[in-house]
Chain A
Amino acid sequence: MNSMDSTKGKIGLKELVAIIILNVGTKVADNTPTIFYEAFGTAAWIGILIIGLISLIPILLITKLITLYQDKNLIDIILHLFGKHIGFVLLFTLCILQIFTNINNTSIYTDIIGTMYFSKTPTVVIYLLLLGVAAYGAKKGIEYIGSSAWVMLFWICLSLLVILSVVFVQGEFNQIFPILGTGGLELVKGSYQNSSILMDFLYLALIASNVKSATIYKKGIWIGFVIILLAFVLSLIGYVMLFDYYGVRMFDYPYHETIRYIEIGFLNNVELLFFPFWLISSFIRFAFYLYLGALLFGAVFKIKQFEYVVPALAVFTILAGLIPESSVFSMNDFRVIFLNLITPIFLLFPCLLWITAKLKGDFKNE
């Protein structure tokens, strides 16, 4: 019985990897690529590699801390290192950021579904359905999210692979030139500004204690990291091969334009073949986001059974997400600014944690 208790509510390596891939990986299918093409032109794929390189340091530091404090998650570590008061402020900031990100992303995804697929359905209804399903998943807990992510992972990856292989056959490879895109200095600058694309790796530390062990956590993070970079690089090259950098900059959602453009043999309208997979990965993604939001909220306001916050949080997200008049512009613009704003937090916060741990002398126990 005891051994069962210790693994209850915990996820293993495959669930963790699935969560990482579905949460960060789905970004290749929303408006993130457009941000990349704006900043890097044809060199968007180099941009994500530089971002990966920049993010290595914070991710490395975080995993170091997680392996140091076994069985503790980011919340415990923050409270341990900074004490009650400063810890509260930090967690509160993280919580606000997470909720903002969620509002921003859900509203963009609602817009995708509304403009690209269900143009006559009112936004409220799409929003309600999207978050309704996500909230149901989030309420069930991390185990549930993990296993549904794992079940769907194969199919979602398969659909992406099929799309990419068709794109690579139909596209023109020469369109990825000029190879350096907007140029060397711009590349580095843009990569720095947008490196918070991988901010999720910081938030993933929040569920570290839900993973079976710190070693599994570490392994999962790096496997997920590599797969995500690979997916990003291939898709970013693929979109440019199909539409050229100038055209792809004009799109709001390149992935959806791609699945509408490609032809597979005799099949017309293949987007309907891929849309469901995208939809499911979005459900899982927002379930996880809502779960994280509730987890942080619970930590800030000392709510033990934080799962009960999920429905309220979902309703708040819908209400806040519906405020902007035209979500394509306001939310996409907001996202660009927001990404630039939170970049220093993503890069510096792990350093701050690590230095504090070092100063406290916690590393000596190793």
Chain B
Amino acid sequence: MNNIKRGSLMLFFIFLIPLLSGCWDQTSIEERAYVVAIGLDKSKSDNENQIQISYIIANPEFSKKEAMTTEPPMETITFDANDINVARNKANTVVAKEISFNLLSVIIVSEELAKDKNFIRWMYDATKEREIKRDTPLIVVKEESTKFFKQNQPKLESRIHKYYDLILKYASKAGMIPNSHSNLGRYYRITQADASLFLGIYGTSEKSEYKRSEEEDNFMAGQIEIGGESNKVQFMGSAVFKEGQMIGTLTGEETRAAVLINEGLNMGSIIATYKDPFDDRYRVTTRILQKEDIKIKMDLKSPLPTIDVSIPLYIDILSQHSMVDYVNDSEKRERLKQSIEEEVTNTYNKLIKKTQEEFKGEPFGWSLIARKEFLTIKEFEDFDWMETYPEIDVNLTVKVNIGNFGNQSKVPELEEMRD
């Protein structure tokens, strides 16, 4: 009896094995071509309904540690197609494997296409494709994406899928780009809600005129002069989308400011410099931490709606070339505080003015906070946040708390030393 039972159990398990193959959907890894980046450009042909699509296909052989191959790390193909989905089949005219989007790391769009009024139509194609996930980051590049791909030769991380993951992670930690969460899902969500603006990651491989400014980060991608033999590609700043269409850009500093007052985007600690109140020639390098949430109060029911924002910042001083003794002198510390507060408030006022006058919408995700003021969806839609925002009076207060002064808090007195 026991033997029969055991035997039938064995048979049962053997019959289970074919099920593991996943029926018709089985594909072996070797037969798949993994697309890690999709590039979208305006088509060069006259056909308005077509776009130019590029695929970066990673070479899985390249990742193997033990058997290095002489094959290149990736392959780029470019062609015109009606949409992302049909492009998959078209790609098979040259690629001898099944195209898979399972490992897609980024979607890269040229600025020209992003500014097209029909851009949103192609973006929604991605929702139909099962393998394109909503957590794929959206990057806007200044030039054509094909050119961007050609120029993008990372020196230290040649596995291309890893490169995108890592650079977005660390660039957003530094607050230079909106956040790795500025992905497709967010794009759809903000576009559909039609109340706020979406910030996409901005990058380029093209060097524009270098801007030497006294502030550290008031740049767009391409404007920073970086020497040495590094990759030409830079990611900095953000592309502003209104109703699914790109309408402008924010510089690195503006992006950082926008990220700081957006409750939905969390950032790590970022490094920024501010004027030294005791010596105009120098700037103080600081590490900004967001330990407390910003407080936003809205009064939307009155005829003149107002928003009060208070931003608490925790700042560590990392360098001070003026060598002023901030550590022991609380009065000097107080002045430094005030000076930073003023500077930050100024930046914000400029940014808010820009959003109200130039973009006529806000990228800070404030529409979500505004929703709290309304009971029903209809009331909120009648208020029309996007239309009302430019008229709203925004009052900003910045409160700076100075934390520590680096590992070694004290600096020698220069005057005495040089004596």
Q: Taking beta carbons and an 8 Å cutoff, which residues of A are in contact with B?
A: 41-42, 115-122, 125, 129, 172, 174-175, 177-184, 243-247, 250, 257, 260-261, 263, 268-269
| Complex contacts, A250 vs chain B, CB 8 Å | 192
Q: Which of A121, A125, A243, A261 contacts B133 (CB 8 A)?
A: A261
Q: Which of A116, A177, A246 contacts B374 (CB 8 A)?
A: A177
Chain B minimum-CB-distance residue to A268: B103
| Complex contacts, B263 vs chain A, CB 8 Å | 172, 174
| Complex contacts, B331 vs chain A, CB 8 Å | none
| Complex contacts, B365 vs chain A, CB 8 Å | 172
Taking a contact as CB atoms under 8 Å apart, the answer to whether B25 and A269 are in contact is no
Docked complex Cα distance between A117 and B380 (Å): 37
| Complex contacts, A184 vs chain B, CB 8 Å | 376
Taking a contact as CB atoms under 8 Å apart, the answer to whether A118 and B378 are in contact is no
Docked complex Cα distance between A76 and B204 (Å): 75
1/0 contact string of B338-380 vs chain A (CB within 8 Å): 0000000000000000000000000001001101101111111
Chain B residue total in the interface (Cβ 8 A): 30
Cβ distance A111 to chain B, nearest Cβ, rounded Å: 13
Docked complex Cα distance between A263 and B263 (Å): 20
Docked complex Cα distance between A77 and B142 (Å): 74
Residue from A41, A178, A261 whose CB has the most chain B CB atoms within 10 Å: A178
Docked complex Cα distance between A261 and B183 (Å): 10
**Which secondary structure dominates where chain B touches chain A?**
helix
B150 in the interface (beta carbon within 8 A)? no
List 30 A-B pairs, Cβ < 8 Å.
A41-B377, A42-B377, A119-B130, A121-B24, A121-B25, A122-B24, A129-B19, A172-B264, A172-B368, A174-B263, A174-B264, A174-B368, A174-B371, A175-B368, A177-B372, A178-B371, A178-B375, A178-B380, A179-B372, A180-B376, A181-B376, A182-B376, A182-B378, A183-B377, A247-B193, A250-B192, A257-B134, A261-B185, A263-B135, A268-B103
Cβ distance A268 to chain B, nearest Cβ, rounded Å: 8
1/0 contact string of B263-276 vs chain A (CB within 8 Å): 11000000000000
B23 in the interface (beta carbon within 8 A)? yes
Taking a contact as CB atoms under 8 Å apart, the answer to whether B368 and A177 are in contact is yes
| Complex contacts, B193 vs chain A, CB 8 Å | 244, 246-247
Cβ distance B99 to chain A, nearest Cβ, rounded Å: 14
Docked complex Cα distance between A108 and B409 (Å): 65
Q: Taking beta carbons and an 8 Å cutoff, which residues of B are in contact with A?
A: 19, 22-25, 102-103, 130, 133-135, 185, 188-189, 192-193, 263-264, 365, 368-369, 371-372, 374-380
Taking a contact as CB atoms under 8 Å apart, the answer to whether B371 and A183 are in contact is no
Chain A minimum-CB-distance residue to B130: A119
Docked complex Cα distance between A263 and B133 (Å): 11
| Complex contacts, B371 vs chain A, CB 8 Å | 174-175, 177-178
| Complex contacts, B24 vs chain A, CB 8 Å | 118, 120-122, 125
Q: Which of A41, A125, A260 contacts B23 (CB 8 A)?
A: A125
Chain B minimum-CB-distance residue to A115: B130
Docked complex Cα distance between A117 and B24 (Å): 11
Docked complex Cα distance between A245 and B377 (Å): 10
Taking a contact as CB atoms under 8 Å apart, the answer to whether A247 and B133 are in contact is no
| Complex contacts, B130 vs chain A, CB 8 Å | 115-116, 119
| Complex contacts, B369 vs chain A, CB 8 Å | 174
Taking a contact as CB atoms under 8 Å apart, the answer to whether B134 and A181 are in contact is no
Docked complex Cα distance between A263 and B19 (Å): 28
Question: Which 4 A/B pairs are nearest by Cβ-Cβ distance?
Answer: A174-B368, A177-B371, A183-B376, A121-B24
Q: Which of B192, B377, B379 contacts A247 (CB 8 A)?
A: B192
| Complex contacts, A180 vs chain B, CB 8 Å | 375-376
Docked complex Cα distance between A118 and B130 (Å): 10
Chain A minimum-CB-distance residue to B27: A120
Taking a contact as CB atoms under 8 Å apart, the answer to whether A243 and B379 are in contact is no
Residue from A122, A177, A250 whose CB has the most chain B CB atoms within 10 Å: A177
| Complex contacts, A115 vs chain B, CB 8 Å | 130
| Complex contacts, A263 vs chain B, CB 8 Å | 135
Residue from A116, A183, A246, A250 whose CB has the most chain B CB atoms within 10 Å: A246
Chain B minimum-CB-distance residue to A179: B375
